[in-house]
Amino acid sequence: MLSIRNRARAVTERIVAGAQASEGGPRKRASRIVNRHFMLVVLTPPMLVLGTLVTLPVAYLLWTSVHIPQQFTPDQFVGLTHYASIFSDPNFWESLSHSLRYVAGSVSIAFVLGLTAALSINQLKSELWRGVATVLILLAWAVPLVVTGLIWRFMLHSNYGIINGILVYMGAIIEPIGFTTTPAIAFVSIVIVDAWARAPFAAIILLAGLQTIPADLYEAATIDGANRLQQFLHITLPNIKGQAAIALLIMSMFAFRTFSIVYAITGGGPADATRVLAVYIYDVGISQSRLGYASALSVVMILMTLVFVAAYVLRVQQEAVETEVAA
Protein backbone atom coordinates (compact mmCIF):
# COMPACT_ATOMS: atom_id res chain seq x y z
CA MET A 1 0.00 0.00 0.00
CA LEU A 2 2.88 2.32 0.87
CA SER A 3 4.34 2.05 -2.60
CA ILE A 4 1.00 2.94 -4.21
CA ARG A 5 0.72 5.95 -1.97
CA ASN A 6 4.25 7.08 -2.84
CA ARG A 7 3.46 6.69 -6.51
CA ALA A 8 0.26 8.67 -6.10
CA ARG A 9 2.18 11.43 -4.34
CA ALA A 10 4.82 11.56 -7.07
CA VAL A 11 2.14 11.85 -9.74
CA THR A 12 0.37 14.59 -7.79
CA GLU A 13 3.56 16.59 -7.40
CA ARG A 14 4.11 16.47 -11.11
CA ILE A 15 0.53 17.62 -11.77
CA VAL A 16 0.76 20.51 -9.32
CA ALA A 17 4.07 21.61 -10.82
CA GLY A 18 2.47 21.56 -14.28
CA ALA A 19 -0.57 23.48 -13.08
CA GLN A 20 1.57 26.22 -11.56
CA ALA A 21 3.52 26.57 -14.78
CA SER A 22 0.37 27.19 -16.87
CA GLU A 23 -1.77 29.32 -14.59
CA GLY A 24 -4.65 31.55 -15.66
CA GLY A 25 -6.83 31.72 -18.78
CA PRO A 26 -10.32 30.47 -19.69
CA ARG A 27 -9.18 26.87 -19.57
CA LYS A 28 -8.62 27.27 -15.90
CA ARG A 29 -12.12 28.56 -15.36
CA ALA A 30 -13.57 25.58 -17.22
CA SER A 31 -11.50 23.17 -15.20
CA ARG A 32 -12.64 24.90 -12.00
CA ILE A 33 -16.26 24.26 -12.95
CA VAL A 34 -15.49 20.64 -13.79
CA ASN A 35 -13.82 20.14 -10.48
CA ARG A 36 -16.43 21.91 -8.38
CA HIS A 37 -19.17 19.67 -9.81
CA PHE A 38 -17.11 16.57 -10.43
CA MET A 39 -19.82 14.22 -9.21
CA LEU A 40 -22.23 15.59 -11.80
CA VAL A 41 -19.55 15.45 -14.48
CA VAL A 42 -18.83 11.75 -13.98
CA LEU A 43 -22.37 10.58 -13.26
CA THR A 44 -24.59 12.57 -15.60
CA PRO A 45 -23.47 11.28 -19.03
CA PRO A 46 -23.61 7.57 -18.16
CA MET A 47 -26.89 7.95 -16.32
CA LEU A 48 -28.42 9.81 -19.27
CA VAL A 49 -27.29 7.09 -21.69
CA LEU A 50 -28.39 4.25 -19.47
CA GLY A 51 -31.60 6.00 -18.46
CA THR A 52 -32.59 6.52 -22.08
CA LEU A 53 -31.67 3.00 -23.12
CA VAL A 54 -33.64 1.49 -20.23
CA THR A 55 -36.70 3.70 -19.80
CA LEU A 56 -37.51 4.24 -23.46
CA PRO A 57 -37.90 0.54 -24.39
CA VAL A 58 -39.54 -0.29 -21.04
CA ALA A 59 -42.14 2.43 -21.59
CA TYR A 60 -42.64 1.31 -25.17
CA LEU A 61 -42.97 -2.31 -24.03
CA LEU A 62 -45.71 -1.43 -21.54
CA TRP A 63 -47.47 0.75 -24.13
CA THR A 64 -47.38 -1.96 -26.79
CA SER A 65 -48.62 -4.60 -24.36
CA VAL A 66 -51.98 -2.79 -23.99
CA HIS A 67 -52.38 -1.91 -27.69
CA ILE A 68 -52.76 -3.56 -31.03
CA PRO A 69 -49.96 -1.91 -33.00
CA GLN A 70 -50.97 -0.45 -36.36
CA GLN A 71 -48.68 0.28 -39.24
CA PHE A 72 -50.02 3.64 -40.46
CA THR A 73 -52.71 4.67 -37.96
CA PRO A 74 -52.28 5.19 -34.19
CA ASP A 75 -52.12 2.02 -32.10
CA GLN A 76 -55.50 0.68 -31.04
CA PHE A 77 -55.98 0.56 -27.27
CA VAL A 78 -57.26 -2.82 -26.04
CA GLY A 79 -56.68 -2.60 -22.29
CA LEU A 80 -55.60 -5.78 -20.59
CA THR A 81 -56.99 -8.07 -23.29
CA HIS A 82 -53.55 -9.43 -24.20
CA TYR A 83 -52.78 -10.23 -20.57
CA ALA A 84 -56.13 -11.93 -20.14
CA SER A 85 -55.63 -14.13 -23.19
CA ILE A 86 -52.22 -15.28 -21.93
CA PHE A 87 -53.93 -17.30 -19.21
CA SER A 88 -56.09 -19.22 -21.65
CA ASP A 89 -53.25 -19.76 -24.14
CA PRO A 90 -52.21 -23.43 -24.03
CA ASN A 91 -49.02 -22.63 -25.96
CA PHE A 92 -47.95 -20.24 -23.22
CA TRP A 93 -48.43 -22.83 -20.48
CA GLU A 94 -46.65 -25.47 -22.51
CA SER A 95 -43.69 -23.15 -23.18
CA LEU A 96 -43.53 -22.15 -19.53
CA SER A 97 -43.46 -25.77 -18.44
CA HIS A 98 -40.71 -26.46 -21.00
CA SER A 99 -38.75 -23.49 -19.67
CA LEU A 100 -39.02 -24.61 -16.06
CA ARG A 101 -37.99 -28.18 -16.86
CA TYR A 102 -35.20 -26.81 -19.02
CA VAL A 103 -33.88 -24.64 -16.16
CA ALA A 104 -34.10 -27.46 -13.63
CA GLY A 105 -32.38 -29.98 -15.90
CA SER A 106 -29.68 -27.77 -17.30
CA VAL A 107 -28.75 -26.04 -14.06
CA SER A 108 -28.50 -29.24 -12.03
CA ILE A 109 -26.38 -31.01 -14.66
CA ALA A 110 -24.19 -27.92 -15.09
CA PHE A 111 -23.77 -27.60 -11.34
CA VAL A 112 -22.64 -31.20 -10.89
CA LEU A 113 -20.25 -30.95 -13.85
CA GLY A 114 -18.93 -27.60 -12.66
CA LEU A 115 -18.45 -28.77 -9.08
CA THR A 116 -16.63 -31.91 -10.21
CA ALA A 117 -14.38 -29.84 -12.45
CA ALA A 118 -13.69 -27.27 -9.72
CA LEU A 119 -12.89 -29.95 -7.12
CA SER A 120 -10.51 -31.82 -9.41
CA ILE A 121 -8.77 -28.66 -10.62
CA ASN A 122 -8.37 -27.57 -7.01
CA GLN A 123 -6.59 -30.86 -6.27
CA LEU A 124 -3.88 -30.13 -8.82
CA LYS A 125 -0.71 -29.01 -7.09
CA SER A 126 1.02 -27.23 -9.95
CA GLU A 127 -0.14 -23.67 -10.61
CA LEU A 128 0.62 -24.14 -14.31
CA TRP A 129 -1.57 -27.22 -14.74
CA ARG A 130 -4.36 -25.56 -12.82
CA GLY A 131 -4.23 -22.65 -15.25
CA VAL A 132 -4.17 -24.97 -18.26
CA ALA A 133 -7.15 -26.99 -17.02
CA THR A 134 -9.12 -23.81 -16.26
CA VAL A 135 -8.46 -22.40 -19.72
CA LEU A 136 -9.47 -25.66 -21.42
CA ILE A 137 -12.76 -25.75 -19.55
CA LEU A 138 -13.39 -22.03 -20.01
CA LEU A 139 -13.10 -22.38 -23.81
CA ALA A 140 -16.57 -23.92 -23.91
CA TRP A 141 -17.92 -20.84 -22.10
CA ALA A 142 -16.42 -18.50 -24.70
CA VAL A 143 -18.02 -20.16 -27.73
CA PRO A 144 -20.92 -17.97 -28.93
CA LEU A 145 -24.12 -19.73 -27.84
CA VAL A 146 -25.56 -19.96 -31.34
CA VAL A 147 -22.33 -21.63 -32.49
CA THR A 148 -22.61 -24.01 -29.52
CA GLY A 149 -26.04 -24.92 -30.78
CA LEU A 150 -24.85 -25.37 -34.36
CA ILE A 151 -21.86 -27.53 -33.38
CA TRP A 152 -24.04 -29.83 -31.34
CA ARG A 153 -26.74 -29.89 -33.99
CA PHE A 154 -24.03 -31.20 -36.29
CA MET A 155 -22.71 -33.71 -33.78
CA LEU A 156 -26.21 -34.96 -32.91
CA HIS A 157 -27.37 -35.27 -36.51
CA SER A 158 -29.04 -38.63 -37.16
CA ASN A 159 -27.19 -39.33 -40.43
CA TYR A 160 -23.86 -37.53 -40.30
CA GLY A 161 -23.51 -36.83 -36.58
CA ILE A 162 -20.42 -38.17 -34.87
CA ILE A 163 -22.32 -39.34 -31.79
CA ASN A 164 -24.56 -41.64 -33.80
CA GLY A 165 -21.48 -42.56 -35.86
CA ILE A 166 -19.58 -43.73 -32.78
CA LEU A 167 -22.55 -45.56 -31.29
CA VAL A 168 -23.30 -47.41 -34.54
CA TYR A 169 -19.65 -48.20 -35.12
CA MET A 170 -19.26 -49.68 -31.64
CA GLY A 171 -22.41 -51.70 -32.19
CA ALA A 172 -24.24 -50.09 -29.28
CA ILE A 173 -27.17 -49.26 -31.55
CA ILE A 174 -28.24 -50.47 -34.98
CA GLU A 175 -30.42 -47.61 -36.17
CA PRO A 176 -29.21 -44.03 -35.58
CA ILE A 177 -31.06 -42.20 -32.78
CA GLY A 178 -32.99 -39.05 -33.72
CA PHE A 179 -31.35 -36.90 -31.06
CA THR A 180 -32.91 -33.72 -32.42
CA THR A 181 -35.89 -35.14 -34.30
CA THR A 182 -37.65 -37.33 -31.69
CA PRO A 183 -39.60 -34.97 -29.41
CA ALA A 184 -38.74 -36.43 -25.98
CA ILE A 185 -35.10 -37.08 -26.86
CA ALA A 186 -34.71 -33.66 -28.46
CA PHE A 187 -35.64 -32.01 -25.18
CA VAL A 188 -33.02 -34.00 -23.29
CA SER A 189 -30.48 -33.14 -25.99
CA ILE A 190 -30.93 -29.38 -25.74
CA VAL A 191 -30.80 -29.55 -21.94
CA ILE A 192 -27.45 -31.37 -22.06
CA VAL A 193 -26.07 -28.94 -24.64
CA ASP A 194 -27.18 -26.05 -22.46
CA ALA A 195 -25.41 -27.64 -19.49
CA TRP A 196 -22.27 -27.96 -21.62
CA ALA A 197 -22.28 -24.23 -22.23
CA ARG A 198 -23.19 -23.32 -18.65
CA ALA A 199 -21.00 -25.65 -16.55
CA PRO A 200 -17.71 -23.72 -17.08
CA PHE A 201 -19.25 -20.68 -15.38
CA ALA A 202 -20.20 -22.80 -12.37
CA ALA A 203 -16.69 -24.28 -12.33
CA ILE A 204 -15.08 -20.82 -12.27
CA ILE A 205 -17.30 -19.47 -9.50
CA LEU A 206 -16.96 -22.62 -7.35
CA LEU A 207 -13.20 -22.80 -7.93
CA ALA A 208 -12.89 -19.22 -6.67
CA GLY A 209 -14.80 -20.31 -3.56
CA LEU A 210 -12.64 -23.40 -3.02
CA GLN A 211 -9.45 -21.37 -3.20
CA THR A 212 -10.52 -19.13 -0.33
CA ILE A 213 -10.74 -22.08 2.11
CA PRO A 214 -7.63 -21.94 4.31
CA ALA A 215 -5.48 -25.08 4.11
CA ASP A 216 -5.05 -25.29 7.89
CA LEU A 217 -8.74 -26.11 8.28
CA TYR A 218 -8.06 -29.38 6.45
CA GLU A 219 -4.82 -29.95 8.37
CA ALA A 220 -6.60 -29.53 11.70
CA ALA A 221 -9.36 -31.89 10.56
CA THR A 222 -6.82 -34.48 9.46
CA ILE A 223 -5.10 -34.34 12.84
CA ASP A 224 -8.47 -34.82 14.53
CA GLY A 225 -9.00 -37.96 12.44
CA ALA A 226 -11.62 -36.74 9.96
CA ASN A 227 -11.44 -38.55 6.66
CA ARG A 228 -11.70 -36.92 3.26
CA LEU A 229 -15.41 -37.44 2.83
CA GLN A 230 -16.10 -35.92 6.26
CA GLN A 231 -13.80 -33.04 5.40
CA PHE A 232 -15.69 -32.52 2.17
CA LEU A 233 -19.07 -32.55 3.90
CA HIS A 234 -18.12 -30.47 6.93
CA ILE A 235 -15.44 -28.12 5.61
CA THR A 236 -15.63 -27.83 1.81
CA LEU A 237 -19.38 -27.69 1.32
CA PRO A 238 -20.21 -25.19 4.09
CA ASN A 239 -17.41 -22.91 2.87
CA ILE A 240 -18.59 -22.72 -0.72
CA LYS A 241 -22.27 -22.43 0.19
CA GLY A 242 -22.33 -18.74 -0.75
CA GLN A 243 -20.72 -19.24 -4.13
CA ALA A 244 -22.93 -22.26 -4.85
CA ALA A 245 -26.08 -20.25 -4.12
CA ILE A 246 -25.00 -17.37 -6.34
CA ALA A 247 -23.91 -19.74 -9.14
CA LEU A 248 -27.26 -21.57 -9.02
CA LEU A 249 -29.20 -18.31 -8.98
CA ILE A 250 -27.35 -16.76 -11.90
CA MET A 251 -27.38 -19.96 -13.94
CA SER A 252 -31.14 -20.31 -13.41
CA MET A 253 -31.70 -16.72 -14.51
CA PHE A 254 -29.69 -17.23 -17.66
CA ALA A 255 -31.11 -20.66 -18.45
CA PHE A 256 -34.62 -19.24 -18.14
CA ARG A 257 -33.95 -16.66 -20.89
CA THR A 258 -32.18 -19.12 -23.19
CA PHE A 259 -32.88 -18.60 -26.86
CA SER A 260 -29.85 -19.11 -29.11
CA ILE A 261 -29.10 -22.73 -28.27
CA VAL A 262 -32.68 -23.91 -28.76
CA TYR A 263 -33.14 -21.81 -31.89
CA ALA A 264 -29.94 -23.17 -33.42
CA ILE A 265 -30.58 -26.84 -32.64
CA THR A 266 -34.30 -27.36 -33.09
CA GLY A 267 -35.93 -23.95 -33.65
CA GLY A 268 -38.49 -25.02 -31.03
CA GLY A 269 -39.49 -28.23 -32.76
CA PRO A 270 -40.04 -31.09 -33.33
CA ALA A 271 -43.79 -30.60 -32.76
CA ASP A 272 -43.02 -27.70 -30.37
CA ALA A 273 -41.40 -30.17 -27.95
CA THR A 274 -38.48 -27.83 -27.27
CA ARG A 275 -40.28 -24.50 -27.52
CA VAL A 276 -39.21 -22.60 -24.41
CA LEU A 277 -40.67 -19.25 -23.39
CA ALA A 278 -38.05 -17.13 -25.17
CA VAL A 279 -38.57 -18.99 -28.43
CA TYR A 280 -42.33 -18.61 -28.04
CA ILE A 281 -41.99 -14.83 -27.64
CA TYR A 282 -39.80 -14.74 -30.73
CA ASP A 283 -42.33 -16.82 -32.69
CA VAL A 284 -45.28 -14.65 -31.67
CA GLY A 285 -43.55 -11.28 -31.95
CA ILE A 286 -41.21 -11.67 -34.90
CA SER A 287 -42.43 -14.63 -36.98
CA GLN A 288 -46.16 -13.89 -36.58
CA SER A 289 -45.78 -10.10 -36.06
CA ARG A 290 -48.25 -10.09 -33.16
CA LEU A 291 -46.29 -7.36 -31.38
CA GLY A 292 -48.98 -6.52 -28.82
CA TYR A 293 -49.40 -10.06 -27.56
CA ALA A 294 -45.63 -10.66 -27.63
CA SER A 295 -45.17 -7.54 -25.47
CA ALA A 296 -47.65 -8.82 -22.91
CA LEU A 297 -45.81 -12.16 -22.86
CA SER A 298 -42.52 -10.27 -22.41
CA VAL A 299 -43.90 -8.33 -19.44
CA VAL A 300 -45.07 -11.56 -17.83
CA MET A 301 -41.67 -13.17 -18.41
CA ILE A 302 -39.86 -10.15 -16.94
CA LEU A 303 -42.11 -10.25 -13.87
CA MET A 304 -41.25 -13.92 -13.39
CA THR A 305 -37.53 -13.11 -13.68
CA LEU A 306 -37.92 -10.41 -11.02
CA VAL A 307 -38.32 -13.18 -8.45
CA PHE A 308 -34.77 -14.31 -9.22
CA VAL A 309 -33.59 -10.70 -9.36
CA ALA A 310 -35.06 -9.94 -5.94
CA ALA A 311 -33.39 -13.02 -4.47
CA TYR A 312 -30.08 -11.99 -6.01
CA VAL A 313 -30.27 -8.35 -4.94
CA LEU A 314 -31.15 -9.34 -1.37
CA ARG A 315 -28.26 -11.79 -1.26
CA VAL A 316 -25.75 -9.32 -2.69
CA GLN A 317 -26.98 -6.55 -0.40
CA GLN A 318 -26.63 -8.78 2.60
CA GLU A 319 -23.07 -9.58 1.58
CA ALA A 320 -22.31 -5.89 1.11
CA VAL A 321 -23.56 -5.22 4.61
CA GLU A 322 -21.45 -8.05 5.98
CA THR A 323 -18.28 -6.78 4.29
CA GLU A 324 -18.96 -3.32 5.65
CA VAL A 325 -19.15 -4.74 9.15
CA ALA A 326 -15.97 -6.75 8.58
CA ALA A 327 -14.17 -3.65 7.35
Pick one of 29, 60, 80, 241: the residue that binds other proteins (CB under 8 A).
60
Pick one of 78, 109, 165, 178: the residue that binds other proteins (CB under 8 A).
165
Q: Say if residue 144 is preceded by a cis peptide, omega within 30 of 0.
A: no
Burial of 167 (0-12, 13-18, 19+ CB in 10 A): middle
Pick one of 58, 80, 84, 104: the residue that binds other proteins (CB under 8 A).
58
Least distance in angstroms from the C-beta of 271 to other proteins: 19
Segment 266-325, which members bind other proteins (CB under 8 A)? 277-278, 281-282, 285-286, 291, 294-295, 298-299, 301-302, 305-306, 308-309, 312-313, 316-317, 319-321, 323
Pick one of 2, 3, 4, 90: the residue that binds other proteins (CB under 8 A).
4
174 binds other proteins (CB under 8 A): no
Number of residues in contact with other proteins, rule: CB under 8 A?
124
Segment 65-84, which members bind other proteins (CB under 8 A)? 69
142 binds other proteins (CB under 8 A): yes
**Residue 153 or residue 275: which is nearer to other proteins going by CB?**
153
262 binds other proteins (CB under 8 A): no
Pick one of 110, 177, 190, 247: the residue that binds other proteins (CB under 8 A).
247
Task: Tell me the backbone φ, ψ of residue 79, rounded to 5 degrees.
Answer: 65, -140
Helices (H), the chain: 2-21, 26-36, 38-65, 81-87, 90-123, 127-142, 145-155, 162-170, 183-210, 215-223, 228-231, 237-239, 241-256, 260-265, 277-282, 291-326
Residue 7 CA: distances (Å) to CA of 3, 4, 10, 19, 20: 6, 5, 5, 18, 20
Residue 246 CA: distances (Å) to CA of 56, 251, 312: 30, 8, 7
Kindly indicate which of the ranges 28-36, 80-88, 100-108, 182-190 contains the residues binding other proteins, using the contact rule CB under 8 A.
28-36
**Residue 273 or residue 296: which is nearer to other proteins going by CB?**
296
Pick one of 78, 151, 213, 217: the residue that binds other proteins (CB under 8 A).
151
Pick one of 29, 31, 93, 238: the residue that binds other proteins (CB under 8 A).
31
CA pair distance 277, 256, nearest whole angstrom: 8
CA pair distance 142, 265, nearest whole angstrom: 18
CA pair distance 66, 83, nearest whole angstrom: 8
67 sits in which H/E element: strand 67-68
Pick one of 80, 166, 188, 271: the residue that binds other proteins (CB under 8 A).
166
Phi-psi region of 171 (alpha: psi -120 to 50; beta: other; left: phi over 0): left
Segment 79-138, which members bind other proteins (CB under 8 A)? 113, 116-117, 120-121, 123-124, 131, 133-138
CA pair distance 173, 301, nearest whole angstrom: 41
Kindly indicate which of the ranges 76-84, 85-93, 103-111, 198-206 contains the residues binding other proteins, using the contact rule CB under 8 A.
198-206
